[in-house]
Structures are given as structure tokens and as C-alpha cells.
Structure 1
Amino acid sequence: MNNNNDVVVVLPGIMGSTLGVRGADGSPAADHLFWAPSGGAIWKLIRRRDSILDHELPEGIGDEHPGDGVEPVGLMPDVHAIPGIWTPLKGYDVLVNQLRSLGYHEATGDRPANLVLAPYDWRLSNRYNGQRLATVVEPALERWRAQGGPYADARLVFVCHSMGGLVARWYVEKCGGHEVTRKLITLGTPWRGATNAIEQLVNGVRKGIGPLSINLTGFARSLPSLHQLMPEFACIADGSEYLKTTETTVPELRTDMVADAMAFHTTLQEAERARADSRGMAHLIVGIRQPTNTTVRFSGGRATVSESFGAENDFGDGTVPLAGAIGHDERLDTNIAVRVPENHSALQCNRFVLDQVQELLTAAPVRRRDLSSVNVRARVPDLVVEGEPLEVDVSAEMDADAGPLAAGAVPASLEVTVHTEKGRVLAREVVAISNGGDTRASFAGLPPGTHTVTVTGTDPGAGVRPVTSSVLLWPATP
């Protein structure tokens, strides 16, 4: 039987909240949305007159709100992205519907909620959003507790994807949230940051090429949140050494914003070390086995990323390297992290991840799907301009500890499928593979839109763990 006495709070990742502006006539922000991609039409929202890029933050915003009338409205239902700023991410409908199926519900009429969807203005500092979170979740918890009986001692359980975990951590550790929180479940959260954020901030957003002549760099560099996604761990190659962002000069970026981002991470880490119960309430679900940028080298004012530390490759979820996904001063083989071979963009939709979340919420065993023994890696570009081929590099390898079930070999082929967000198959290719070797599937003539790429085995009995990624096909004619 499910235990629904607590209040579950869902926080999305960066760009995962719809945003609007309160009208001059007092009409709600929900009536004036400017960031709410629907059906994959992301380019329309970036190119229209009132777009997200018109809401660049002022210099020196720090941990404040700019007073521009922008408000978060809801969780993004489908794929969302700003090309070149962060990985295209799937929406949160699958996760929310799973929680509803377990008996969690939002407030209706006089019925208090034990499910709180907590969108936030992802442009702003995670400190600001952590403080604001208290004004959302604590009144909801009080209303739930007011029912008395088994609900009187209810607490909060956070289920957070990506950057949402940083917001929740700040609330828990720095805003008194630990007093009313039972569990913190993070899905692909960059506890120590992600190297991609450095590359995107330093190099700027792909621009000046055909339809992508929009300069998105100024908007990206105005976001305290994106700076706070930069790695805390030493990942900047300097000869044979690796340095932290504050131990060198990061080209193109304001030194004060870089230092403040590092301070955000170190302050959180110090607070977690000082509170004995912090580690016990944390449940990390991380993506693994995917090609992931981990280190970076600066030359000529540009950032060049690498997937390894010297000869070592820790992999990750395609966006967050394993070194950035593991918190609490833990080693990469820590027992507080559940590892799932999946891409960052799809962790919140992955069936095994949803099983894990269910078990953590209900404290009851969930019947597992059979785990496979073949791991797939897929390298899928975030952005392709219409007319260019979509090229997907894939490989597979056996689990090192798969034992006799592995039969010593990977399957002879993998199936790569491209489909729309509504599930319509656009293209499919079967590619021959070998153990550990890369093979490329190439798709030409795909229509513009936000598409999903799935890599799986051709034989259902081959024991292949499928992986999923999203890609934005930018239209050649806006």
C-alpha cells in the first residue's frame, strides 16, 4: 500500500518551467506566455517579437529578481531547448502522471495537495529560487498537515530533475528546509556542475550560420543560473594539471560571476558537511555510459572540451559528467547513487528511473523489469539545421560483471529510430556493430521539429538497454 502522507514536490531543470509576464491590466502571466514550446516549435518562440531573448537579465542582477514582471507558470509538457545553451530536454508529463497514478494529487477546491509542481524562473540565481521555494512548499505542507491524524507530521519529499536539484538543495540547506524535508531525490542533477556550461558560456551560442543568425550569447551570459551550472570540480586542463574555474582566468566571462558560481557550490557543500542528516536524505539517480564532456582546455579565447581526464573516461549522461553528478564528497563508486544507462534529456521519463522513484516514495518493493546486460552509447547532436544530415554515433559493450548471461558478445546490430514527440516514426536504420566500436547512422531529409532518437537492439532477447536523446531540427526557412 502506498504511503501518501508526505507532500511530493517536483522541480524541473533549466528551461523546464513555462514563463509569462503579468499584463499591464493585471491579467495573469499565464495569459502572456513567452516561453512555452509546444509541439517542438521552439524556433518560433525564439524568433517572434516577444521571445525569451527579450528577457535578458541586467548586469549585476546577483540573487535578485529584475522586477520585469516575469513569473513561472507551469512545468514544460514536451521537449524544450534554447539551441546551444543546454541539452534539449523532454517534458515532465510522464513523471507527473506516474506520481498521480500512485495517489498523489494537486489541490482542487477545498482539497489540499500532496503533489506540488514547482516551476521557477530558471533565468535567475538558484539562491533566489531556493528562497522563493519556501513560499510555495511550506504553505502547501501546512494545509496538508492541517487535516490532522496521519497527516499531522507530514514532511516534504523533493523529486528534482537536473538544475531543480540545486534549487532544492539551497532551500534545504540554507533556507531551513531540512526541518520539514524527509527525502531529496535528484535525477541527473549536476551536484558539482557540468563542463558543457563552460563551453557554452565561453564560446557563445552557434550563430551566424544560415537561419541561426540570432545572437543568443548575451542572453546566456546574463543568466546567474547557467553560471551556477559550471563545474566546481577541477576540470580545466593546464599542462598536466587540472584547475578549478577560480584558479585560472575563464575567457569571455565576468570574473565576479565565475567566482559567485563557485561560491554557490562551495557554500552548499559546507552546509551539507555540517549537517549530519544531509547525506541520509539524499538519493541520487544518475545517467551513465553516455559520451559526456568532462574536461576543458582554453586556447585563443575559446574552450575545447574533452570526454576524458587524461586516459580515463568516466562517461556520464551525455550532459552531466559522472564527476559532476556525484555529491556529498562521495567517490564515483558511492552506494548512495543509482546508475541508469540513459541520456540526461530522458532520465525523468526512463521506466527504470520511475520504478526507483516509486520505490523511494512508497518504501515498498517494485517488480523490476529485467535488467539487460548490453549497454548502449549514443552521441546525438543537440541541433541540426534542416538540409543537413542527422548523424548518430552508437556503440555497445557488455557489462563487465554480466557473467555467464552475457554469452561473451554484444549483438551484431542496433536499431536507431527517429520519431516525433507524438511517436510517429520518421526514419529507422539498422547498423552493424562490434564490441566497443563506434558505428554511425545517418538520416537525411528529416523535417524541422523537435525529434527523439532511440537506440535499441534489433532482437528483443539480446539484452540491450535502450537509450533516448532529443534533437532540434532547425528550419532552413524561418
Structure 2
Amino acid sequence: MTEPPQKNLPGHSPGSWPHTPPGLTPTITHDAVVIVPGIMGSELYDTTTGDVLWGLANPKWLAKAWLTKPGLSPLHLTAEEQAGEFGRIKARRLLQTPAWSPFLRGIEPYHKLTRAIENPVADPAAVMPFPYDWRLPVEVNARLLAGAAREHLEQWRRHPAHTAARRQAVDERQARLVFIAHSMGGLVTYAALTLGFDNDLAADTRGAMTLGTPFHGSVVAASILNSIQGAPLPLPHNRLAALAATMPGVHDLLPRFVCLEEGLNVRRLTPTDVAALGGDKDLARNSQMFFDNLYSQPFPHHRPVVGIRQDTVQSMRLEDGTVIASEYCFRSNTDGEAMRDLNGTPRRFQVWGDGTVHRESASLTRRTLPIASQHGALASGKAALQAVADFLLEDDHLGPDQANEGLGLKVPDYVVPNSEWAIRVAGTDDPSGVDCTVASVDGDFQREARLYASDGDALGASMKVPRIGLYRVTVEADYVTSPLTQLVFAGADGVMPLNE
């Protein structure tokens, strides 16, 4: 017998359920969802002045932030904040417009991710963004997340749309939590679920999907801290280093795997090493103790999405206080000793990553969902959004999907207007069917990059942009599901002193 048509559930207009013919139960989730952004993915404002300090809704604010003297100075942690007195700066909402940072490169807003999540939930009220002050320790934000997630779940369980939607769930169970976390947000989620801030939170969680989370840290964080005393770099890099030196959040992103190359020896960074490269020894020591505790706890209900096929720094050397980053990594045997060749030299491996986090750092287990994408776009690309939507509709862990080989994209960290810079597309030497465009975020410039066969199974192109601003490089191919994108910032020429 044919069932009667389903009535519309509260919170949705007639016909709003996606792909639900008459007589079928809507394919939705009645669970509560929490979106946890990555570092620099939350808009921050000063509670004493009301000024927005990071994330203005106009991309032109980036030039003021990075290229003028006052710039980001209000974001530096004060003595009171370093002593644990927080509250001067608050996170208001998720990033609303594309942003850029040296080394971290493009930071995309979370509109697409939010829309992808709101589509399969029973009502938009089931979705809670969790903006946070990414300057602070992961532990501080994890405690806040645990409290906010508990309150969100209880409010959603009282919502009329939840009451209606749970009738189609197995055993009509109550809603549980699903966390969708990008980059640093995955560390915050991991700690919120495991460190005892709410002992029932893990049991009330159905799943946590992380997108490009540096579970074992990233060499990029060491390069950030080193850029004041390292090789001469443009002004924005120096400004970020000065800011990062006071930020526990950046120290929580330092690599915790075997990455420091010293002749025939490779080892982990120590707090003394961090101080030598420009960081804070005490912040590094505090971070080390925090992660020693965190790693002793399994991450429950976890599904990691990892970026692949992008050139990514994976190890480093320290030469006269300067970080020299390399795009290869080292692996250890089960006894903890580095794998070596017949001559006793540590073996080097190329595992790539998402341009910021190398693949082996982006997961706590070997079970991953690999996607060819840059780090900043992992929360906005088509393939990742499909994975998120599918994850929301699951009730059981079905294992990882298989990924295509994919293409890789490499662009400079910082460019100068009217000067040529290079684009490299890895994974093919055939330009047919591959399109590359460069467009300004504010929409007044767009140009196609002429790709040509380059060395090492890759394509190359040269590009110029006309003025200071933020530009998006996009690579599309007939055989690739989701386009590759990366944001590039064009700024002033030359090296400028930090106090200018």
C-alpha cells in the first residue's frame, strides 16, 4: 500500500526538502550541528572600542591590516591576556569575506559550508556556528565550545522541528551532536569532547568531521614565528610574526612530529628550539603539556578529511636561527627510530598535503577521506561539501570514500602589482581541458592564465595583477570533480622594517 504524502515538518516551506518525491520520507538529519572554523576564520572585535579588528566585510581592509603601521597591533595579546585574563576581544561571527595571511594564504568564508549543512537538517535552528578567538589556547576555546554545544543541543531538543523530525529516526532517538570543524577547529573539537569539560558530551555526539586539521601540527607555524629573524621577507610576514609570538593559538599549531633535520639525525622540536626560531618558550612548553594530555584520549566518532596532491612543507632545518622548510617528511619505525637507508641516512618521503597541513598530520588514524584541495578551500570546495552533507545523513560510520588522483596548485605567498609571478599546476603536462583564471575578489579584474607544459608532470603560467588587493586563482579540468582555488594577496614592493 502506498503511504500518504508526508506533511511538511516545522521550519521548512512546502517543497523545500531536497529530492523528496511524494510518498517518501524526507532525507534529512534531526541531529544538531556545530560549525567550528579554523584559525583566522572568525571575525574579532574589541569590546572596549567596538572596532572590528579582523574580518571586515570589505576585502580592501586587508591592505590596511597588513600594510599600515597600526594594522594588526590591537590583536597582540596584552600582558593581562597572557596572564589568562580574557574578554577584551570577542568573536562575533564566522568570517564573512575572503581573507589572507602570510604563510596561511587564502582564508575563505564559510557561506558555502553553512548552506551545505542547512540543506539536510530538519530546521536551520539545528545549526550553530561557533566563532572563537583564535589567538587564544586551544584549551580555552575547547572549554567554551563544550558549554556552547551542550546549550545548543538542549535548545534544539526542545524545538518543535526536532520533535517532528525524530519520528523518522531509528527508535525515534533524540538528537545528538554533529561537529563539522575546519583546520584549528578540529583541535578545539577534539579537546572539547575528550578533556572532561562535559563528561557526557562525547556520548551525546554522533560524529565529528574534521577538514584539514593539523592534529600533529604544521611546519608552517614554525615559519610564521621565524619570519622576523629569518630571511628578508615583505612587511606582512614580519607583522604576522610579531603578532604570532604572543599568540598561544599559533604555538598550538607547531609541528609535534619528527621534523627537525640535523645532519644524520631527525627529531621533534623542543621549547628551546621554538625560542631559537622566534617563538615563546613558555607558550611552547604549555602547548606540549596540553597535547601530551590530549593525545592520551581517543577522538570519538571521528571522520577526517585530508587535503592531498598539493605541495606542502613537511620538515625543516634550523640554520643560524633561520627556518629552512622542505617538502618532504620522515617516518619512524615502531620503536620510534627514524627509518634509514643502507648508508644510515634518514629516508625522505613525499606525501604532499593541502598546502598547509601535510597529509600524515591531518589525521589521528590511517582511515581518511582524501580530497585534492588547498587548505583554505577544504571547507568550501564541491567535493568537501558533498562529503559533509553525506556525513550529516549517516547514522553509522561507512568508511572512507576513494579519491581521484587530482591536480595540485602552487602559487606565491605574496605578489607585487604589475610584476610577473608563476602559477604551477601539478598532476598533468597536458594543458588541454585545463583552465586557469585569476580574478580579483572585488570583481573588477579577471584574466585567463595561459598554461604550458612544464617540468615534472606539471603545467606552468605567468601572471600579473594590476593593483594591491586580494585575487583568487582557480583551476578547473574536465576530469576533476571540484575546482582548485587559492587566494593570493598583492601588496607593496620591497622589504620594509617592522616599525614602518
TM score, norm. by length of structure 1 = 0.82
1:439 deviates by: 3.7
The equivalent position to 2:105 in structure 1, one of 67, 84, 87, is: 87
- Could you tell me which residue of structure 1 aligns to residue 45 of structure 2? 20
- Could you tell me which residue of structure 1 aligns to residue 143 of structure 2? 131
- 3-state SS of the aligned residue for 1:37? coil
- Could you tell me which residue of structure 1 aligns to residue 363 of structure 2? 326
The equivalent position to 2:490 in structure 1, one of 452, 473, 477, is: 473
- Could you tell me which residue of structure 2 aligns to residue 275 of structure 1? none
Change (3 A) 1:438 1:59: farther
Change (3 A) 1:8 1:152: same
Letter of the aligned partner of 1:169 in structure 2? Y
Does residue 1:171 correspond to 2:192, yes or no?
A: yes
Q: Deviations over 1:150-186 (max 9, x none)?
A: 3872221100110011111110111233132221110
The equivalent position to 2:419 in structure 1, one of 385, 388, 391, is: 388
Change (3 A) 1:214 1:202: closer
Change (3 A) 1:116 1:394: same
Where does the alignment leave 5 or more consecutive residues of structure 2 unmatched? 1-25, 167-171, 330-346, 397-401, 495-499
Q: Does the CA contact (< 8 Å) of 2:67 and 2:235 recur in 1?
A: no
The equivalent position to 2:183 in structure 1, one of 162, 187, 190, is: 162
Q: Deviations over 1:270-306 (max 9, x none)?
A: 012xxxxx35x00101100100000000010010000
- For the residues of structure 2 that align with 1:153 and 1:389, how far apart are their CA atoms? 58
Does residue 1:8 correspond to 2:33, yes or no?
A: yes
Letter of the aligned partner of 1:384 in structure 2? V
- For the residues of structure 1 that align with 2:237 and 2:376, how far apart are their CA atoms? 26
- For the residues of structure 2 that align with 1:346 and 1:179, how far apart are their CA atoms? 31
- 3-state SS of the aligned residue for 1:179? coil
- For the residues of structure 1 that align with 2:142 and 2:304, how far apart are their CA atoms? 19
Does residue 1:72 correspond to 2:91, yes or no?
A: yes
- For the residues of structure 2 that align with 1:129 and 1:63, how far apart are their CA atoms? 16
Change (3 A) 1:212 1:140: closer
- Could you tell me which residue of structure 1 aligns to residue 352 of structure 2? 315
- For the residues of structure 2 that align with 1:205 and 1:158, how far apart are their CA atoms? 39
Q: How many residues align?
A: 434
Where does the alignment leave 5 or more consecutive residues of structure 1 unmatched? 107-112, 273-277, 366-370, 398-408
Matches within 5 A, 1:421-432: 421=441, 426-432=446-452
1:453 deviates by: 0.7
After alignment, is 135-144 or 147-156 more displaced? 147-156
Matches within 5 A, 1:203-214: 203-204=227-228, 212=236
Change (3 A) 1:382 1:63: farther
Does residue 1:243 correspond to 2:267, yes or no?
A: yes
Does residue 1:259 correspond to 2:313, yes or no?
A: no
Letter of the aligned partner of 2:410 in structure 1? R
- 3-state SS of the aligned residue for 2:379? helix
Letter of the aligned partner of 2:286 in structure 1? D
- Could you tell me which residue of structure 2 aligns to residue 451 of structure 1? 471
- For the residues of structure 1 that align with 2:134 and 2:450, how far apart are their CA atoms? 39
Change (3 A) 1:60 1:259: farther
Does residue 1:116 correspond to 2:110, yes or no?
A: no
Matches within 5 A, 1:289-300: 289-300=309-320
Q: Deviations over 1:122-149 (max 9, x none)?
A: 1101100001112322112111122474
- For the residues of structure 1 that align with 2:463 and 2:425, how far apart are their CA atoms? 14
Change (3 A) 1:167 1:350: same
Q: Does the CA contact (< 8 Å) of 1:348 and 1:354 recur in 2?
A: yes
Change (3 A) 1:207 1:36: farther
- 3-state SS of the aligned residue for 1:229? coil
1:262 deviates by: 2.2
Change (3 A) 1:213 1:187: closer
- 3-state SS of the aligned residue for 1:257? helix
Letter of the aligned partner of 1:127 in structure 2? E
Letter of the aligned partner of 1:342 in structure 2? S
- Could you tell me which residue of structure 1 aligns to residue 379 of structure 2? 348
- Could you tell me which residue of structure 1 aligns to residue 22 of structure 2? none
After alignment, is 381-390 or 152-161 more displaced? 381-390
1:51 deviates by: 4.4
Q: Does the CA contact (< 8 Å) of 1:287 and 1:347 recur in 2?
A: yes
Change (3 A) 1:119 1:90: same
Change (3 A) 1:88 1:124: same
- For the residues of structure 1 that align with 2:55 and 2:231, how far apart are their CA atoms? 22
* Larger of the two Rg values belongs to structure: 2
1:17 deviates by: 0.4
Change (3 A) 1:22 1:387: same
- 3-state SS of the aligned residue for 2:100? coil
Change (3 A) 1:74 1:104: farther
Letter of the aligned partner of 2:474 in structure 1? T
Matches within 5 A, 1:407-422: 414-421=434-441
Q: Does the CA contact (< 8 Å) of 1:62 and 1:125 recur in 2?
A: no
- Could you tell me which residue of structure 2 aligns to residue 99 of structure 1? 117
- For the residues of structure 2 that align with 1:179 and 1:474, how far apart are their CA atoms? 49
1:269 deviates by: 1.1
- Could you tell me which residue of structure 1 aligns to residue 392 of structure 2? 361
Q: Does the CA contact (< 8 Å) of 2:35 and 2:130 recur in 1?
A: yes
Matches within 5 A, 1:21-36: 21-23=46-48, 29=50, 32-36=51-55
- 3-state SS of the aligned residue for 2:448? strand
Letter of the aligned partner of 1:131 in structure 2? R
Change (3 A) 1:221 1:137: same
The equivalent position to 1:145 in structure 2, one of 157, 161, 164, is: 157
- For the residues of structure 2 that align with 1:465 and 1:374, how far apart are their CA atoms? 12
The equivalent position to 1:303 in structure 2, one of 323, 326, 329, is: 323
Does residue 1:54 correspond to 2:71, yes or no?
A: no
- For the residues of structure 1 that align with 2:53 and 2:469, how far apart are their CA atoms? 19
Q: Deviations over 1:412-457 (max 9, x none)?
A: 5743211133666622123232684344311124332211111233
- For the residues of structure 2 that align with 1:364 and 1:220, how far apart are their CA atoms? 40
The percentage of counterpart residues that share the same residue type is 26
1:22 deviates by: 2.1
- Could you tell me which residue of structure 1 aligns to residue 256 of structure 2? 232
1:383 deviates by: 1.6
> Superposition RMSD on alpha carbons, in Å?
3.1
Letter of the aligned partner of 2:350 in structure 1? N
